[in-house]
Amino acid sequence: MQEPARIASRDAETALADHSSPLQRFVRFKVGIMPMPLYLVAVACLVSFVVRGKVPTDLCIMAVVLSACSYTLAEIGQRLPIFRALGGAVILNTFLPSALVFYGLMPTDLTKSIGLFFKQSNFLYLFVAAVVVGSIFSMERKTLLANIVKIVIPLVISSVAATAVGLAVGVSLGLSVKYTLFYILAPIMAGGVGEGAVPLAIGYAGILHGTQAEVVGQILPIVALSNVCAIVIAGLLHTLGQRRAHLSGNGLLLRDDKSDALSDSTAGNDDTSLLADIRSPAVAGLTLLTLYAVSVAVEHLVDLPAPLIMLMLAVVMKMARMVPPAMEQGTRWVYRFFALAGTYPLMFCVGVVLTPWKPMVAAFTPSICITIVCTVFTLAATGFYVAKWCRMYPIETAIITVCHAGSGGTGDVAILGAGKRLGLMATAQVSTKIGGFVTVTLALLTVSHFH
């Protein structure tokens, strides 16, 4: 019953647009989520700051600056015919700023201000907290538990298959077994940079009596390239899901789940019930921040990363029925706000601050690239085909398993953003964090044993 209503609504909007004046159409045109007049004002402010040689780093100004930059790239990425099917909006926002910084094409003052803002504000953790906890609190208890438990099977099978395929491809291309296994495959599935590549490099350096900087320099490009492959595959999977609807759950992982999906496609829908009580999103926002604060406080006691602790606390609260319905609605509103408004600005920040262009380009040797592509593709393909045996949707399962090859929290945001599945952030964190922890542990134990 809803589909005819949407079609009628779209037809009405088209008819209205046809009879609108050029000025009215100009005003209604949007760049990202910004109406054209607002976008032009934001761009004018950005230009004035750059010309003046001083870009303020406070939250209000940086919100305008990052929106103007990131929504521009997103609009370009979404309009290029082939590129948009590959997750072009996310790819442009992640890697083009990195290239502009490296080649000196981005104004120095703008680069410094974005870097300072990103490091001081911890914008990444605010976004991850909103999306992870929001998706957990908004999900049915049975669905949440089933997602976490059932994703383990495809994750384990796809990881084993990817290791076997990656090792076979690497060795056949002339790479040694040791290098392929420990310096390509382990970094790919280590769970990112901070919680994966860095501990792996520290462990390798300690066991092999090398320098941490040298090992990190070898590992980081591998993580970056695998993240690019994962983003492209997620974009292709989303396109496949649009063309073959029976393969996609539109944000739902389990075939038996009838709850509402928190996909990107729903993030922009009007839902007046979410704003019925303004206290709900306010309390929900404070709850998210408090959970993150608790996770940071506990982090030093249990030697686990704060995002993983926050994930566990949120799951425990949900399972123990400690989340009232009003808070569930509030967290859903908070989730949708950050998913809609914050994804591309965050990716732009990551491109400027955290994406190393030179080492990534230096790693573009045919043998390494082919090994990485085959490994990441195997992760996705195995998850896709195992899904039907676990009564899961192939598109969602493949996107979750390919998150195992992402660069941590930022990678999950980019991959799920390209696949339009940000509502699966909680399950993706299980794939990235827990899968990465197991990978790093096994790699270090193996290196230590053979050394």
pLDDT digits (tens, 9 = 90+) for 211-253: 665 676 677 778 878 888 998 999 999 999 999 988 998 888 8
Question: Which has the higher per-residue pLDDT, 383 or 89?
Answer: 383
Position 343 in a domain: yes
DSSP track, 298-314: HHHHHT--HHHHHHHHH
The whole-angstrom separation of Cα 343 and Cα 340 is 7
- What six digits make up the tokens of 391? 């009564």
Question: Which has the higher per-residue pLDDT, 404 or 203?
Answer: 404
pLDDT digits (tens, 9 = 90+) for 313-362: 888 888 888 888 888 888 888 888 887 888 889 889 888 887 778 766 77
- Asked if residues 214 and 362 have their Cβ atoms less than 8 Å apart, the reply is no
How far is C-alpha 242 from the chain's CA centre? 20
Question: Which has the higher per-residue pLDDT, 424 or 363?
Answer: 424
pLDDT digits (tens, 9 = 90+) for 103-151: 999 999 999 999 999 888 878 778 877 877 777 787 777 777 777 778 8
Query: Residue 137 is part of which domain span?
Result: 122-450
10 Å CB burial of residue 63 (0-12, 13-18, 19+) is middle
CA distances from 399 to 235, 303, 331 (A): 9, 29, 24
Is the pLDDT reported for residue 89 higher than 90? no
**What pLDDT score was predicted for residue 212?**
61
**What pLDDT score was predicted for residue 213?**
58
Position 307 in a domain: yes
CA distances from 179 to 176, 184, 187, 290 (A): 5, 7, 11, 43
- Asked if residues 339 and 422 have their Cβ atoms less than 8 Å apart, the reply is yes
Question: Which has the higher per-residue pLDDT, 281 or 361?
Answer: 281
**What pLDDT score was predicted for residue 233?**
94
- Asked if residues 379 and 402 have their Cβ atoms less than 8 Å apart, the reply is yes
Fill in the DSSP letter of residue 184.
Answer: I
The upper half-sphere exposure of residue 31, i.e. CA atoms within 13 Å in the direction of its Cβ, equals 18
Is the pLDDT reported for residue 384 higher than 90? yes
pLDDT-derived band at 259, boundaries 50, 70, 90:
low
- Asked if residues 389 and 410 have their Cβ atoms less than 8 Å apart, the reply is no
**What pLDDT score was predicted for residue 261?**
52
Position 184 in a domain: yes
CA angle at residue 105 from 99 to 106, to 5 degrees?
Answer: 90
**What pLDDT score was predicted for residue 193?**
65
10 Å CB burial of residue 53 (0-12, 13-18, 19+) is exposed
Position 126 in a domain: yes
The upper half-sphere exposure of residue 358, i.e. CA atoms within 13 Å in the direction of its Cβ, equals 5
Mean pLDDT of the residues in the chain = 81
Q: How many domains does the chain have?
A: 1
Position 95 in a domain: no
The whole-angstrom separation of Cα 141 and Cα 278 is 25
CA-based nearest residue to 284, from 240, 337, 248, 239: 337
**What pLDDT score was predicted for residue 48?**
94
Position 91 in a domain: no
Position 75 in a domain: no
| pLDDT average, residue stretch 37-54 | 92
User: What residues contact residue 48 under an 8 Å CB cut-off, 6+ apart?
Assistant: none
- Single-letter residue type at 393: Y
Question: Which has the higher per-residue pLDDT, 50 or 95?
Answer: 50
pLDDT digits (tens, 9 = 90+) for 2-32: 333 333 444 444 444 556 677 677 667 788 7
- What six digits make up the tokens of 82? 């082939």
The whole-angstrom separation of Cα 303 and Cα 421 is 30
Position 33 in a domain: no
- Percent of the chain's residues with pLDDT above 90: 26
